[in-house]
Amino acid sequence: MLNESHVEGVIASKWTYNEVQFVRVAVYPDAGRTTRRADPQGRETPDYVTLRCEGSHALAATSLRDGDRVRVSGILTSREYDIFLDAFARKAHGDEKAVAELRDLAGHLGRDVALPHVINEIIVERLIVVETAASRQAGRERRRDGRLFTERPAPAAPVEAATAATPVAAG
């Protein structure tokens, strides 16, 4: 069976859990490929994909910054975990009275009640930085100045994490 995923998007957030680096990427659709919802400015809203970076890919992901544009290849996987009532109640929002009652109940039953949850993520096998947030910002500032350039700034050099099939020279 084929299980291969290719995604390009902008880093929205990242976090580490048990030496694994997770990256949340905002993925915008190609023009004309969707009839999704739009934000108040008329732009299409993104979908969000979670990337799971392990080993050398986790090391490479530590240098990524919010706003960097990346291109990723990997395999789609899922994992199950429980969301305990106390964790849910801490993040809950809405009617203040209802949330207060929920948090009170969670204080008594917080670890006794859980909701099974499944998350899909891409296990990264190849990671390339297409454009850094800093270089994109510099381009915006040049355009804002009203100056015209005949040459485009050089794109950021691709940064790839080494894979088991790609030897890395010591050096």
Looking at beta carbons, which pairs linking 132-141 to residues 24 or more positions away fall under 8 Å? 132/65, 132/67, 132/68, 132/69, 132/156, 133/11, 133/65, 133/66, 133/67, 133/68, 134/65, 136/67, 136/69, 137/67
Q: What is the Cα–Cα distance from 107 to 138, expressed in whole angstroms?
A: 49
Distance of CA 26 to the CA centre of its chain: 6
Distance of CA 70 to the CA centre of its chain: 10
In order of their start, the domains of the chain are 5-79+118-144 (2.40.50.140)
Mean pLDDT by 10 residues, the chain (171 residues): 93 92 90 70 84 90 92 94 88 90 86 88 94 78 55 52 44 40
| The predicted structure's pLDDT at residue 86 | 87
| The predicted structure's pLDDT at residue 36 | 66
Number of residues written out for the chain: 171
Q: What is the Cα–Cα distance from 130 to 156, expressed in whole angstroms?
A: 6
| The predicted structure's pLDDT at residue 121 | 95
**What is this structure's pTM?**
0.67
Q: What is the Cα–Cα distance from 59 to 22, expressed in whole angstroms?
A: 11
